[in-house]
Amino acid sequence: MVGYYISLRKFSHPVRCLGRKGTPSASLHIKAGDVIEVTNDCKLFKGAGWFFMVEVNGKNCGFIAHEELVNYLNDKKLVTMLDIELHINYLKYKLDLALDERNKVCFNAYTKKLTDYLILKTELEKYAVKKEFFSFV
């Protein structure tokens, strides 16, 4: 679970105080394009499970439950670099098909989606390179 993720769409994550049971005390608002780093700083809370420290765009935001992170990945709210690269490959294939069929509408639609995913990939790469660089300094 440790690694870098990027948000595909806007959502809110309920922030709970782990020391007390009850309703969430606040919400963490994630925007499309935000980079989420799940660090190796994790804690096991009896009865609640594993929680990982997360940073959003380089700022500490607190802990997130393992199962919530898995749900965000399954719902495609967050994706990994591998997910992005696989989708880029698929979009390039669909773009080639649209070219072969001379389908202008599909070509334009896939071009737009491909451009969006290439931007997400660039953002995630820039963030990861910057974090790796400063970890060596």
Q: Report the distance separating Cα 51 and Cα 111, nearest Å.
A: 39
Domain ranges in the chain with CATH number 2.30.30: 3-79
Q: Report the distance separating Cα 118 and Cα 88, nearest Å.
A: 7
User: Does 1.20.120 match the CATH number of domain 3-79?
Assistant: no
Residues 58-101: tens digit of each pLDDT? 898 888 999 999 999 999 999 999 999 999 999 999 999 999 99
Task: Give strand pairing partners of 136.
Answer: none
Residues 117-136: tens digit of each pLDDT? 999 999 999 998 887 755 55
Burial annotation 1-39 (CB, 10 A radius, 16+ → b, else e): eeebbbbbeebebeebeeeeeeeeeeebebeebbbbbbe
The pTM for the full model equals: 0.83
Q: Report the distance separating Cα 32 and Cα 67, nearest Å.
A: 21
